[in-house]
Chain A
Amino acid sequence: MITLLEHDGVRTLLAPATGPMRAGLVFPGGQVSVTGPEDEIARFLSGHQLVTPTSATLHLRRYGVPLEVTRENTVLWIAGDRVPPGLTLPLPADRRRTSPPVTGMLPPADAPGGYSFAGSLGTVAWQTVVTHSAPAAVLADMLAVMLGRSFPVATSYLPRSDGTAIITVIAAGSHRSTGSDAVLGEFIDVLAQLRVGRLDPADLPLALSHPDRPSASQPDRLPMLAAEMLAGLPPLSADQFQAVTPAAVAAVGMASMRHGLLLTPGDRDASWAGFAPAPLPLPLPPAPLPAGPPRVAPALFTLYIVLTIALTGLLALLFIDGDSHTTFQRALCALAIALTVRGAIRAFHRFRHA
């Protein structure tokens, strides 16, 4: 039995499960999940940096707008008895948004391999847009099987409200054990297999056995259900997955290439492999000014101005009709007036910039 709750304003899918608790968050640019004791899950999801630099970079390059994770555009899922105590999701509020248009930023590439651009790190990743379907969801897992033989990869399949889905494959820790040059080479080889439609049919059962299929138990299905809920789409059925053939997956793969976006390590490009350089994102609106010193309360400021004027007036009075005053006393008064006026001007500037 799956229950829909709300936690910290975030829609939450809960299904009782045996074994250690599993939980995750799905948001427009990706997903995170974690397994373990309740307190560990609470700590991980509460403090986790949801948007990794890689998913933020890919999103910006594809849509031209920064990726934002908000309360309304996130779904929490928990395979366990309850929301773990101590789990807080202090996400900013927003309205529920429709997904940005897919072709807005990246038209299908002329190059058969799609687009590529160099990132600032050693990470290799690939992302594409497909029509949301069971074969497309299987393709994502097929990529995980193919690339996962050489190095660990994180794959995500995220349906979107416009009926498309985003497939993202990120090589985890690619710059450590295997050189990032070899990881890039392997990505390019696997993508070429996709482009020519040569997927190994023996990999299909492996991809189909991914735990979040409709035929799986309810807790196992939660990540995909959460993603479908986020997109506002009806869940894909077990029958739809059963009907997936290698040819159908290959067809999705071939169609996906020209929408592909390959992120190469900072010191490498992929022009030698026939990838088109990804167009640069449009200039962003200027970022808000960094937070300055705390604002001076307007009331306090008014009081300061009034007192300054009063004091200046008093000193001026003494200075003007004090025949009996010595030159030293007059100079002292002039200095006092100057300092007061200077203080007022400074306070005014500080207030204006705060």
Chain B
Amino acid sequence: MQPADVSFAAAAAFPEVAAAVQALQIWDWPSVRAELDAAPPGMRAFVVHELAEHPEARQLAGYAWQQQPSDTAAAAVLAAHLIHTGWQIRTGAPAERVSPEQFTGFHEHLAAAEQVLIDAAARNPYDSAVGVQRLLTARGLRLGPGEVRRRYARLARIDAHNVTGQLQMLQSLCPKWSGTWPEVHAFARDRTLAAPPGAPNALLVAVGHLEHFAELGGGDTARAYLRSDAVRRELIDAADRSVWHGSFGREPGWVLALNAFAMVFLQLGDETAATGLLAAAAPFATRFPWSCLGDPAGVLRAYRRSLAGAAR
């Protein structure tokens, strides 16, 4: 394996995403929909989330939705694309560095998406993809912590262990979105223990602590936080329950789980563990958490090189 082999495209790691993207790009909505309808709720929500960045989504899903408002797959893909576009306008910068024009564009796109999603949720209350996208609009439009929790509870009734939705919920609980760290870590622990052993849901524990690590600046203080006994113990338990578990499979979230725990063990100074996890994930990777340290591809290549050198 060459260190340069880094693939962030979910389509590469997930055949379901690849099939849906391909159908979208050749303007074949019936096939996109067939792919989504055949997927279990966790995969359906994940694939829709991954389709958001594709520019074809707007016109193709928009047209399908107008033709048939009961096609909630089309509603979810259209909304996901609107949300993605809105967030690109806003950018991920802290609120004080976002201009009023950017905020207006952001809100317009999110409100448009939200109205599509309200309609879809009324027509089909069991669509996990709609449920997940509604967590993004609730956060971006700042509809309130109670409303975010209500939407998550509604999603959990359809699909108790939806990783894509749980990651959105985790974001909403972060202090940057008016939550608190105890809420973040409690949610991560709770959802990890609720999921079956070997499920990727334990990645919530890693992501929660990595978010906390990033907020502490990613330096020595942040590393000291990760290396504290309680946090280290919790991270090892979570890895035992997911990426190191015999029944860890290739469900939505598996690439992120391996990447998040690899970063965790690098920061904990356990390079053997990190090397094993990166090897298990390669060539697939996720931008988070490497983006916390700079350009994700560069960071990841540098780590792989140094780990390969250390192993030699």
Q: Is A185 an interface residue (CB 8 A)?
A: yes
Contact B119 A196 (CB under 8 A): yes
Contact A196 B111 (CB under 8 A): no
Q: Which residues of the other chain, B, contact A179 by a CB distance below 8 angstroms? A: 144-147
Size of the chain A interface, CB-CB below 8 angstroms: 22
Q: Is B122 an interface residue (CB 8 A)?
A: yes
Q: Whole-angstrom distance between the alpha carbons of A2 and B114 in the complex?
A: 52
Q: Which residues of the other chain, A, contact B143 by a CB distance below 8 angstroms? A: 181, 185, 268, 272
Given A271-B111, A272-B111, A273-B114, are A181 and B144 neighbors across the interface (CB < 8 Å)? yes
Q: Whole-angstrom distance between the alpha carbons of A178 and B151 in the complex?
A: 13
Q: Is A192 an interface residue (CB 8 A)?
A: yes
Q: Which residue of B lies closest to A271 (CB)?
A: B111
Q: Which residues of the other chain, A, contact B151 by a CB distance below 8 angstroms? A: 185
CB distance from A256 to the nearest CB of B (A): 15
Most chain A beta-carbon neighbours within 10 Å: one of B111, B119, B150, B151? B150
Per-residue 0/1 for A166-192: is the Cβ within 8 Å of any B Cβ (1 yes, 0 no)?
000000000000111111111011001
Q: Which residues of the other chain, B, contact A188 by a CB distance below 8 angstroms? A: 118
Per-residue 0/1 for A182-221: is the Cβ within 8 Å of any B Cβ (1 yes, 0 no)?
1111101100110110100000000000000000000000
Q: Which residue of A lies closest to B70 (CB)?
A: A196
Contact B115 A182 (CB under 8 A): no
Within 8 A of A (CB), among B39-62: none
Q: Which residues of the other chain, A, contact B146 by a CB distance below 8 angstroms? A: 178-183, 185
Q: Is A107 an interface residue (CB 8 A)?
A: no
Q: Give me 7 A-to-B residue pairs in the complex whose CB atoms sit less than 8 angstroms apart, sorted by A's number.
A: A181-B145, A182-B149, A184-B147, A185-B143, A185-B146, A185-B151, A189-B122
Q: Is A232 an interface residue (CB 8 A)?
A: no
In the A-B complex, list the 8 residue pairs whose CB atoms are closest, starting with the nearest. A179-B146, A181-B144, A182-B146, A192-B122, A182-B150, A185-B147, A181-B147, A181-B146
Most chain B beta-carbon neighbours within 10 Å: one of A182, A183, A195? A182
Within 8 A of B (CB), among A263-289: 268, 271-274
Q: Which residue of B lies closest to A265 (CB)?
A: B144
Given contacts A181-B143, A182-B144, 4 further A-B contacts (CB under 8 A): A178-B146, A188-B118, A272-B114, A272-B115
Within 8 A of B (CB), among A223-280: 268, 271-274
Q: Whole-angstrom distance between the alpha carbons of A189 and B137 in the complex?
A: 14
Per-residue 0/1 for A308-333: is the Cβ within 8 Å of any B Cβ (1 yes, 0 no)?
00000000000000000000000000
Contact B118 A189 (CB under 8 A): yes
Q: How large is the interface on B (under 10, 10 to 19, 20 to 34, 35 or more residues)?
A: 20 to 34
CB distance from A177 to the nearest CB of B (A): 10
Report whether over half of chain A's contact residues are helix, strand or loop; otherwise say mixed.
helix
Q: Which residues of the other chain, B, contact A189 by a CB distance below 8 angstroms? A: 118, 121-122
CB distance from B136 to the nearest CB of A (A): 13
Contact B141 A272 (CB under 8 A): yes
Report whether over half of chain B's contact residues are helix, strand or loop; otherwise say mixed.
helix
CB distance from A121 to the nearest CB of B (A): 16
CB distance from A129 to the nearest CB of B (A): 22
CB distance from B104 to the nearest CB of A (A): 13
Contact B150 A273 (CB under 8 A): no
A residues within 8 Å of B by Cβ? Answer: 150, 178-186, 188-189, 192-193, 195-196, 198, 268, 271-274
Q: Which of B110, B111, B114, B147 contacts A182 (CB 8 A)?
A: B147
Q: Which residues of the other chain, B, contact A198 by a CB distance below 8 angstroms? A: 122-123
CB distance from A234 to the nearest CB of B (A): 36
Q: Which residues of the other chain, A, contact B118 by a CB distance below 8 angstroms? A: 188-189, 192, 273-274
Q: Which residue of B lies closest to A111 (CB)?
A: B115
Given A272-B111, A273-B114, A273-B115, are A195 and B122 neighbors across the interface (CB < 8 Å)? yes
Q: Which residues of the other chain, A, contact B149 by a CB distance below 8 angstroms? A: 182
Most chain A beta-carbon neighbours within 10 Å: one of B69, B115, B141, B145? B115
Contact B150 A186 (CB under 8 A): yes
Q: Whole-angstrom distance between the alpha carbons of A193 and B121 in the complex?
A: 8
Q: Whole-angstrom distance between the alpha carbons of A268 and B145 in the complex?
A: 13
CB distance from B131 to the nearest CB of A (A): 11
Q: Which residues of the other chain, B, contact A271 by a CB distance below 8 angstroms? A: 111
Q: Whole-angstrom distance between the alpha carbons of A182 and B154 in the complex?
A: 12
Q: Whole-angstrom distance between the alpha carbons of A181 and B138 in the complex?
A: 10
Q: Which residues of the other chain, B, contact A150 by a CB distance below 8 angstroms? A: 150
Q: Whole-angstrom distance between the alpha carbons of A274 and B69 in the complex?
A: 17
Q: Whole-angstrom distance between the alpha carbons of A182 and B147 in the complex?
A: 4
Q: Which residues of the other chain, A, contact B115 by a CB distance below 8 angstroms? A: 272-274
CB distance from A122 to the nearest CB of B (A): 11
Q: Whole-angstrom distance between the alpha carbons of A268 and B111 in the complex?
A: 14
Q: Which residues of the other chain, B, contact A178 by a CB distance below 8 angstroms? A: 146, 150
Q: Which residues of the other chain, A, contact B107 by a CB distance below 8 angstroms? A: 272
Within 8 A of A (CB), among B103-155: 107, 110-111, 114-115, 118-119, 121-123, 138, 141, 143-147, 149-151
Q: Whole-angstrom distance between the alpha carbons of A210 and B141 in the complex?
A: 38
Contact B123 A196 (CB under 8 A): yes
CB distance from A83 to the nearest CB of B (A): 44
CB distance from A220 to the nearest CB of B (A): 33
Q: Which residue of B lies closest to A175 (CB)?
A: B146
Within 8 A of A (CB), among B51-86: 69
Within 8 A of A (CB), among B146-204: 146-147, 149-151
Q: Which residue of B lies closest to A183 (CB)?
A: B146
Contact B122 A193 (CB under 8 A): yes
CB distance from A210 to the nearest CB of B (A): 24
Q: Whole-angstrom distance between the alpha carbons of A188 and B147 in the complex?
A: 11
